[in-house]
Amino acid sequence: MSKITPELIAEHGLTVEEYQKVLEILGREPNLVELGIFSVMWSEHCSYKSSKKWLKTLPTEGPHVIQGPGENAGVVDLGEGLAAVFKIESHNHPSFIEPYQGAATGVGGILRDVFTMGARPAMNLNALRFGSPDHPKTRHLVAGVVSGIGGYGNCVGIPTVGGEVDFHPAYNGNILVNAMTVGLAPTDRIFYSAAAGPGNPVVYVGSKTGRDGIHGATMASAEFDADSEEKRPTVQVGDPFTEKLLIEACLELMSTDAIVAIQDMGAAGLTSSSFEMASKGGVGVELDLELVPMREEGMTPYELMLSESQERMLMVLKPGREDLARSIFEKWDLDFAIIGRLTETGRMVLRWHGETVGDLPIDPLALASPEYDRPWEPTPAAEPINVSQPMERPLDILKDMLGGPDLSSRRWVWEQYDHLIGGNTILRPGADAAVIRLPDGRRGLAATTDCTPRYCYADPVQGGRQAVAESWRNLCAVGAKPLAVTNNLNFGNPERPRVMGQLVGCVQGMGEACRTLDYPVVSGNVSLYNETEGQAILPTPVIGGIGLVEDVSRLAAPGLEKGDLALILIGATQGHLGQSLYLHHVEGREEGPPPPVDLAAERRNGEFLRQQIANGQIVAAHDLSDGGLLVALAEMALIGGVGAELHLPEEWQERPAEWLFGEDQARYLVAVKDPESLLSAAKEAEVPAVIIGKSGGDGLTLGNLGSMSLSELRNAHESWFPNYMSGGVA
C-alpha cells in the first residue's frame, strides 16, 4: 500500500481540512483504497458540497410529484396509472477531453438513471454549448459530441427529440454537454435505491469492470489546465448495444418480485452505488472484490472501487431469488455476480481474497460530506444602454442573424439523431417542445431544454427566472400543461466569490419562478469548476421541463399554414434590447441588463394560450425568445413554408429595432382563423393581444421596410451549419 503523503492527498482532491475530517471519522490514517473512496465521495461531482445549501431552497413538492430530488431520477404522476421519470446530467469535462466517448457515455449514464427507477426510456434531449466557431477546436468538438450522442442513442433505440446548440467564446476551453432522458413507468412499479434486509445478497450485473473512468468524478470536480489532455484515461468508454441488453434485462427482472433495491454505477462507480444504497437503507455492506467481473488482468481493489466503466448496475435481491435473476441476465448475455451481502453493522467492509482492504463507517462518509457556505458576491447591476434605431433594411439584418451561428438551423445536428424510432414522436426537433404519444394514444408528453446564459451573466437572478420561464413558455406553446423540471447547473469555480454569486443568484431566480408557476424541481445535477486556466464559462443553469398534453389532436406547432390567417402577438412589448442578439449582431455588443421577467404575466399568458389551444382556436403558435418578434415570425414561416406580412404599429415606427428585435418576455406569436374571438377572450382574461399581420405568399413583407423571399431566408438559415462543418468560413 502506498504511503499517504500530503502530495497524494492533494492528488485526490482533498483539502487539508477535509483530510483532518477523514482522520476524525476513521480515528486512524486511511489506506489507499479508503483514501480513494473518500476522494470520490467527497468530490464536488458526488457530494454537491458547494451547492447543497442553495439547492435546499428550491421548491420540490407538488400535487404531481411522486419522487423529488435524492433518487436516481425524479418521478411525476401523469394520471391513469402512468408516471414520467426524468433527469438531466452533465458530461462536460469528459466531452471536452474525448468528445465522442464523453458525449456517448453521458447519454448512457442518464439512460441508466431513468431505467433504474423502473421506467422504459421514451425520449432523449440534450443541451450543448461550444466555443466560438472560429476557435481551432470547436469544429472537432461539435463533430465528436454530436456523433457520440447519435451513436449511442440511435443504437439503444431511444429517439432524440429535442435540445439546443449554442456557441460562445466563454466555452472555448470548457464545452457543456447536458443530456436528459424521460421514461415512462407504472406508478405502482417505481424502484428505489435504499438497501434493506441484513443478509440479503448484493449483486453486480451488466458489463465487466475495466480501468476506464478511474477518478472521473474527481476530474469533473476540478478546473482544466494545460495538462488536461492527459486526463483521457479518466473518460469512460461506452457500449450502447450492451446498454440495450441491460435495459431489457433490468425491466424483465423488475416485472418480478426479486428486487429490494437497485442503483446504477455512475460517477464513482461501485463506491458511490454501494455507499448510497447502504446509507439510504441504514445498513452495512460486506463486499468480496475478487468476485467483481473484470475485463482486465491484474486489477486492484483501488481500481475496482473507483472505476467508472459503463453499463453496470448494483442490486439488492430478496433471498432465494438469485437463480431467477441470474437466469434473466445470462439470457441477455450479461455478467451476473453475487459480490457481497448486507449487514447490520452500518459499515462498509471490503475484502480481497479474504484480506480486509477497507473498513469504513457508511453514514459519516455518505452523509457527513463537507457542506460549504462559500463566500459570494452579487453581480453588479448592468448599466442601461442606448441602441441605434435607423433600420432601412431590417430583413437584411434578419437574414444575417438567421444565417449565423446563433440562429441558424440545427438540422445538421438533429438529422444525425434518430428522432422517430418507436413511432411515438409527434412534434420533432424544431418545435418549441418535443411531444411523444403516450401509450393510451390520446395523450402526449412534452419536453424541452432551455437557458439563456448571456442573461444569467448580466443578471443571475433574472437569468434564473428567465430559464424557467422560457421552459414554461415552450411547453405552453405546444399546448402542454407544465408539470415539473429537472435542472443542470453549470458554473465555473465556486471558490471565486463572483462565480459563487452567479450560482446563488440563478438558484434564487429559479426558485422564485418555480414557486410562482407551480413548477417544482424534482431532479438535477450540478457541474462546477467549468473553466480553464481561470477563464470561466457563462453561468448556464439549463432547465429541462416536461408537460402533459391531454389531447394530441389539439396540439399547436410553430409552422404557419396556408389560408387567410391573422397573426396575433400575445403579451406586452416594451422593446427590450439589453443582452439581445440584435445588439450582438448589429453593434457587436453584449451589454445592458437582460429583459425583466414578470412571472405573474408568464403564468397568465401561458395559461391563456393553453386554453385557446385546447379550444381549437390556434392554428400555429411560437414563443418569442432569441431575436424577438421578427425572428419568431421568420421561423414560423420557414417551418410551414408559408410567407407573412407584418404590420408595424404606428407607435413603433420610430423605434423599429425595439419592436422587431426586442426580447421582451411572456410573449407568443399565434396564427388564428378567427382573430376577433381570440382578441375578445384575451381582453376578458386581461392578456395583452394585438393583430400584427397575416399569413400568405412566399416571402416576408414589412410594409415600407421591404420584403424578402422565403427561399432567400431559407438558404441563409439552412446553409451555415453544413458549410461550417464541411470546413467553410466560421
User: Which tens digits make up the pLDDT trace of 384-427?
Assistant: 998 876 677 899 999 999 999 999 999 999 999 999 999 999 99
Is the predicted pLDDT of residue 218 greater than 70, yes or no?
no
Q: If pLDDT is split at 50, 70 and 90, which confidence band does 228 have?
A: very low
Q: For residue 466, what is its C-alpha cell?
A: 428567465
The predicted pLDDT at position 665 comes to 98
Neighbours of 688 (CB within 10 A): 16
Strands (E), 552-641: 566-570, 620-623
Question: Looking at the predicted structure, is the pLDDT value of residue 546 above 60?
Answer: yes
pLDDT, residue 640, reads: 96
Tracing cell 426524468 back to the chain, one arrives at: 86
Q: Residue 673 carries which DSSP code?
A: S
For residue 628, give the nearest of 565, 586, 599 by alpha carbon: 586
pLDDT at 130: 98
Q: What is the mean pLDDT of residues 211-220?
A: 63
pLDDT of 324 > 70? The answer is yes
567, pLDDT greater than 80: yes
CA distance 356 to 289: 10
Q: How confident is the model at residue 651 (pLDDT cuts 50, 70, 90)?
A: confident
CB count within 10 Å of CB 136 equals 9
Q: Among 73-82, 510-519, 579-588, 645-654, which is the least confidently predicted range?
A: 645-654
- Look at residue 536 and tell me whether its pLDDT is greater than 70: yes
Specify whether the CB–CB gap between 624 and 475 falls below 8 A: no
Strand ranges for 136-175 from DSSP E: 160-167
Burial class, 627, CB count within 10 angstroms (exposed 0-12 / middle 13-18 / buried 19+):
buried
The Cα–Cα gap between 642 and 662 comes to 24
Side by side, which strands form the sheet with 335-343?
Answer: 259-264, 312-317, 201-206, 335-343, 284-288, 347-352, 355-361
Q: Provide the 3-class DSSP secondary structure of residue 717.
A: helix
Q: Which positions are catalytic?
A: 45, 91
**Neighbouring residues of 680: CB distance < 8 A, sequence distance ≥ 6:** none
235 three-state secondary structure: coil
Who contacts 695 (Cβ-Cβ below 8 Å, separation ≥6)? 560, 561, 562, 563, 564, 565, 567, 637, 642, 643, 644, 671
Q: Is 90 helix (H, G, I), strand (E, B) or coil?
A: strand
Reported pTM? 0.95
Of the candidates 376, 480, 487, 410, the residue with the CA atom closest to the CA atom of residue 161: 410
Q: Grid coordinates in use for 257?
A: 418480485
State the pLDDT confidence band at 140, using cuts at 50, 70 and 90.
very high
Q: How much is the average pLDDT of 479-485?
A: 98
The 3-class secondary structure across 351-407, one letter per residue, is EECCEEEEEEEHHHHHHCCCCCCCCCCCCCCCCCCCCCCCCCCHHHHHHHHHCCCCC
What CA–CA distance (Å, rounded) separates 10 from 396? 56
pLDDT > 90? residue 223: no
pLDDT attached to residue 713: 98
| Mean pLDDT for the stretch of residues 1-29 | 90
pLDDT number for residue 729: 63
Determine how β-strand 644-646 pairs with β-strand 689-695. Answer: antiparallel
Q: What is the pLDDT of residue 214?
A: 78
Beta 347-352 vs 284-288: how paired, if at all? parallel
Whether residue 245 is predicted with pLDDT greater than 70 in this model: the reply is yes
Q: Let me know if 320 is exposed, middle or buried by CB neighbors in 10 A (0-12, 13-18, 19+).
A: exposed
What is the identity of the amino acid at 527? S
pLDDT of residue 231 exceeding 50: no
Confidence of residue 267 (pLDDT cuts 50, 70, 90): confident
- pLDDT the model gives residue 522: 98
Strands (E), 175-332: 176-186, 201-206, 259-264, 284-288, 312-317
| Residue 673: how many other CB atoms lie within 10 Å | 15
Mean pLDDT of the chain: 94
Determine whether 357 is exposed, middle or buried from the number of CB atoms within 10 Å of its CB (0-12, 13-18, 19+): buried
Question: 232 pLDDT band (50/70/90 cuts)?
Answer: very low
| Banded pLDDT at 95 (limits 50, 70, 90) | very high
